[in-house]
């Protein structure tokens, strides 16, 4: 019997609502599989934990999470309780950094049964590979002077190692897809980091002659995501550019509540972490209407990661049949509760 | 007779095609007005100039441009001739910096007769006020080590002065519109500059109690531009965030070829500069199909800036009648040439 040990961190807001649903789905998948089981350890880290303990996680929190095969996370942050830069850098971004989750993989595609806000969404199916450890997300920098003369300096730090690693990941992924990689750049406006990014892209591309490449500035790229998303296969992007593109990707799918992500550790020293793209959505907490798809699609990425691609595909295909048949939460134009959607998914998986 | 002296810089690619059309339109407006005339001085600065002279503009170029009341620019850059970071920092960004054009104003709205890629584009009408002088566009930083260990450091520099100035401009603009300002932030991921940005926004907002405000992270904001653009009135954004948002704004209007911009000097020491959002579009040069609307709408912003709001409105309204009647270039789904559209506009202005 293959056992996958998950550290479960529901986090804040709707994270706490959708994660248990996704675990029920994972258990159903395991049952169907026969040879697979999940073991869960739950951690109540998040903003409420902070209000009680003055920290987003326990002092030995990282060590305990490290004992798992993967971390399964809901959502982190609730600005009404804890300022975002504290909650995020104390939990979500801390895990990404300390577990060296240097790659963030985020697919977007036309999801059956869910209407895109685009008039004519050609059958797009793309994946953003986001550098997930450095770049614009950096604690290097600071502030100087007070009052009217104050200045803030933010350092973006790009290393050849992490940049190239993200690009190599994108090229390898493209080899199993439509063999096209787009590099998100801004070398016409951003002086040092982006020309560097372009050079590394060119150098990396030279090793993958079988892959077509194009570099596009982030502004034009963001606009083309809206006008012609079908043009993209794999996109490699810096931390910030990837962040923005993947939210647009979620937008053109019809809801941020659908989009999944995998934060991958590549050096084998720490577990990887799986979390949906959406946040904690304090505005809809407690109403039972959170869209569970983001968390469930994220579970599919987790299955893939642990070599269970077949179960992963079955899970996502069944999910799409459920939405195609109209089981939709309000964010995607339906009137179903989170429960209804998940129950229907589980019912279909079981039959 | 009121005379406006324009320094005309068509620049590269389709800039050279659309600028003369826009000047014809301006002359038509002046004729109709009776009391207004334009005087043009043409400058052939751009990538071809660089290939001949090793520089994007003449040594005394800035001084000569400074003699004008406003600069009217087409597009700059053609990577097949000159690397972008050289052409842009040698002309477009140089003018923005040295003429202290610290504010970039970019409207976006449903344009009559032009189909939005959005399925259901509620009647959106928004303006992005972009900080145009600092932030992520900075030459501060550099690179270290060679080969596998190379790192690039890019400094983003935010001053209280320029940040606040952009925000004040946004609040004042909102007072003449729907009294709502959205601040584009990313204080949950970007450690120093964006929390600073938020503080300045809060402080500025305190002086405008009549204006509703909201702060939204750039990723969610970019996605909401696609799903609910009608929620926005005025958005204030950093240099990079404004860059990305305004291309998405162009995207949801139906074409980057439509979007205009005004680069404003606020201290009275230099001329302001007016340029469309689109680039030089080398792929369609010479085909006579460039969309002239971006440059013409930009001319409208120039008229507004020089106190001729009435003529400005007339120009834009007439332009929208022309598109509503189907005079459309290929980028917006038509089969008209640039000429046809402009001739029809001029014909209607004259009758
Ligand atoms: C060409 C480029 C440097 C420029 C910018 O990034 O500002 C353009 O995208 C714009 O928006 O005017
Ligand atoms: C919450 C925030 C720090 C995070 C990010 O910017 O990475 C989120 O937007 C994401 O995309 O996972």
| pLDDT-derived band at B229, boundaries 50, 70, 90 | very high
Q: Has residue A122 got a pLDDT over 90? A: no
> Which residues of chain A does B165 touch, with a Cβ-Cβ cutoff of 8 Å?
none
B188 interface with A at CB cutoff 8 Å: yes
Q: Do the bridges between strand A212-217 and strand A36-42 make them parallel or antiparallel, or are there none, so unpaired?
A: unpaired
| Mean pLDDT, range A259-288, rounded to an integer | 97
> What is the structure's pLDDT at A276?
97
Cβ of A223 less than 6 Å from ligand 1: no
Ligand nearest to the CA of B245: 1
Mean pLDDT of chain B: 97
Q: Has residue B122 got a pLDDT over 90? A: no
Q: Cα angle vertex A244, ends A132, A140, to 5°?
A: 50
Nearest to A117 by CA among A255, A233, A257: A255
Cβ-Cβ pairs closer than 8 A, A with B, add up to: 212
Are A193 and B142 in contact (CB < 8 Å)?
no
> What is the structure's pLDDT at A292?
98
Are B153 and A153 in contact (CB < 8 Å)?
no
Smallest CA–CA distance, residue B128 to chain A, in Å, is 14
Q: What share of chain B is helix, strand, coil (3-state, %, to 5)?
A: 45, 20, 35
Nearest to A173 by CA among A181, A163, A165: A181
**Which of 11-50 (B) contact A at CB < 8 A?**
none
Model confidence pLDDT, tens digit, residues B236-280: 999 999 999 999 999 999 999 999 999 999 999 999 999 999 999
- Say how far apart CA A97 and CA B39 lie, in whole Å: 58
Smallest CA–CA distance, residue B279 to chain A, in Å, is 10
Counting atoms of ligand 2 from 1, which one is nearest the CA of B188? 3
Ligand nearest to the CA of B101: 1
Report the b/e string of B299-333 with b at 16+ CB within 10 A. Answer: bbbbbbbbebeebbebbbebbbebbeeebbbbbbe
> What is the structure's pLDDT at A259?
97
- The residue nearest atom 6 of ligand 1, judged by CA position, is A189
Nearest to A244 by CA among B341, B219, B306, B279: B219
Same fold, B1-101+279-351 and B116-253: yes
Nearest CB to B118; choose among A118, A150, A194:
A118
Counting atoms of ligand 1 from 1, which one is nearest the CA of B240? 6
Smallest CA–CA distance, residue A29 to chain B, in Å, is 32
Nearest CB to B226; choose among A84, A117, A189:
A117
Cα B168 to chain centroid distance, Å, stands at: 19
Cβ of B88 less than 6 Å from ligand 1: yes
Worst-scoring range by mean pLDDT, A7-16, A51-60, B119-128? Answer: B119-128
Report CA torsion sign: A188, A193, A199, A205.
negative
Ligand nearest to the CA of A241: 2
Model confidence pLDDT, tens digit, residues B33-52: 999 999 999 999 999 999 99
Mean pLDDT of chain A: 97
Worst-scoring range by mean pLDDT, A76-85, A150-159, A297-306? Answer: A76-85
Counting atoms of ligand 1 from 1, which one is nearest the CA of B76? 1
| Mean pLDDT, range A139-147, rounded to an integer | 95
Counting atoms of ligand 2 from 1, which one is nearest the CA of A76? 1
Query: Can you tell me whether residue A239 is helix, strand or coil?
Result: helix
Identify the CATH number of the domain defined by range B116-253. 3.40.718.10
**CB of B185 closer than 8 Å to CB of B151:** no
Q: Has residue B300 got a pLDDT over 90? A: yes
Ligand 2 centroid from CA A243, angstroms: 6
Nearest to A171 by CA among A100, A70, A103, A97: A103
> Which residues of chain A does B247 touch, with a Cβ-Cβ cutoff of 8 Å?
219-220, 222-223
Class at the top of the CATH hierarchy for domain A1-105+257-351: alpha beta
B117 interface with A at CB cutoff 8 Å: yes
Smallest CA–CA distance, residue A283 to chain B, in Å, is 14
* Domains of chain A by residue range: 1-105+257-351, 116-253
| Mean pLDDT, range B120-134, rounded to an integer | 95
| pLDDT-derived band at A248, boundaries 50, 70, 90 | very high
> What is the structure's pLDDT at B260?
98
| pLDDT-derived band at A14, boundaries 50, 70, 90 | very high
B220 interface with A at CB cutoff 8 Å: yes
Model confidence pLDDT, tens digit, residues A303-325: 999 999 999 999 999 999 999 99
Counting atoms of ligand 2 from 1, which one is nearest the CA of A240? 6
- Say how far apart CA A189 and CA A33 lie, in whole Å: 52
Smallest CA–CA distance, residue A109 to chain B, in Å, is 15
Q: Has residue A85 got a pLDDT over 90? A: no
- The residue nearest atom 11 of ligand 1, judged by CA position, is B243
> Which residues of chain B does A161 touch, with a Cβ-Cβ cutoff of 8 Å?
148-149
**CB of A278 closer than 8 Å to CB of A259:** yes
Are A118 and B115 in contact (CB < 8 Å)?
no
Q: Has residue B110 got a pLDDT over 90? A: yes
| pLDDT-derived band at B121, boundaries 50, 70, 90 | confident
| Mean pLDDT, range A31-48, rounded to an integer | 96
**Which of 279-308 (A) contact B at CB < 8 A?**
279
pTM to 2 decimal places: 0.96
Smallest CA–CA distance, residue B349 to chain A, in Å, is 32
* A303 token code pair: 């299955």
Q: What is the largest CA-CA distance in chain A?
A: 67
* B337 token code pair: 């040439």
Residue of A nearest to B76 (CA): A188
Nearest CB to B157; choose among A85, A153, A250:
A153
- Say how far apart CA B212 and CA B203 lie, in whole Å: 14
The torsion angle over the Cα atoms of residues A20, A265, A96 and A193, rounded to 10 degrees, is -140
> What is the structure's pLDDT at B241?
98
| B12 DSSP 8-state letter | S
| pLDDT-derived band at B85, boundaries 50, 70, 90 | confident
Nearest CB to B85; choose among A143, A188, A225:
A188
> What is the structure's pLDDT at B281?
95
What is the fold of B1-101+279-351?
Isopropylmalate Dehydrogenase (3.40.718)
> What is the structure's pLDDT at A121?
87
Q: What is the largest CA-CA distance in chain B?
A: 67
B333 interface with A at CB cutoff 8 Å: no
Q: Has residue B120 got a pLDDT over 90? A: no
- Say how far apart CA A134 and CA B66 lie, in whole Å: 41
């Amino acid at each position: 019997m293959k056992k996958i040990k998950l550290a479960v961190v529901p986090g804040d807001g709707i994270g706490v609502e959708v994660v248990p649903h996704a675990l029920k789905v994972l258990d159903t998948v395991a049952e169907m599989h026969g040879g697979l089981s999940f073991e869960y350890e739950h951690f109540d880290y998040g903003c409420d934990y902070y209000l009680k303990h003055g920290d987003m996680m326990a002092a030995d929190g990282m060590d305990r999470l490290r004992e798992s095969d993967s971390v399964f996370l809901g959502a982190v942050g609730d600005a009404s309780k804890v300022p975002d830069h504290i909650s995020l850098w104390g939990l979500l971004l801390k895990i990404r950094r300390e577990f060296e989750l240097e790659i963030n993989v985020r697919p977007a595609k036309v999801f059956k049964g869910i209407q895109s806000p685009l008039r004519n969404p050609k059958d797009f199916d793309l994946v953003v590979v986001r550098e997930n450890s450095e770049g614009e997300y950096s604690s290097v920098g600071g502030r100087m002077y007070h009052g009217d003369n104050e200045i803030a300096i933010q350092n973006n730090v790009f290393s050849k190692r992490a940049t190239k690693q993200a690009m190599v990941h994108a090229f390898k992924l493209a080899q199993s897809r439509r063999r096209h990689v787009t590099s998100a750049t801004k070398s016409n406006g951003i002086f040092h980091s982006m020309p560097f990014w372009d050079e590394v892209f060119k150098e990396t591309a030279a090793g993958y002659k079988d892959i077509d490449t194009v570099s596009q500035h982030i502004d034009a790229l963001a606009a083309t995501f809206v006008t012609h998303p079908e043009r993209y296969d794999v996109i490699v992007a810096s931390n910030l550019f990837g962040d923005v593109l993947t939210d647009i990707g979620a937008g053109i799918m019809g809801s941020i509540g659908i989009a999944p992500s995998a934060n991958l550790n590549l050096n084998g020293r720490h577990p990887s972490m799986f979390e949906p793209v959406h946040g904690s959505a304090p505005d809809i907490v407690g109403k039972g209407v959170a869209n569970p798809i983001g968390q469930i699609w994220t579970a599919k990425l987790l299955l893939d990661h642990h070599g269970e691609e077949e179960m992963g595909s079955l899970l996502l295909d069944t999910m799409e049949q459920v939405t195609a048949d109209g089981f939709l939460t309000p964010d995607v134009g339906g009137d179903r509760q989170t429960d209804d959607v998940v129950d229907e998914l589980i019912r279909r998986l079981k039959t």
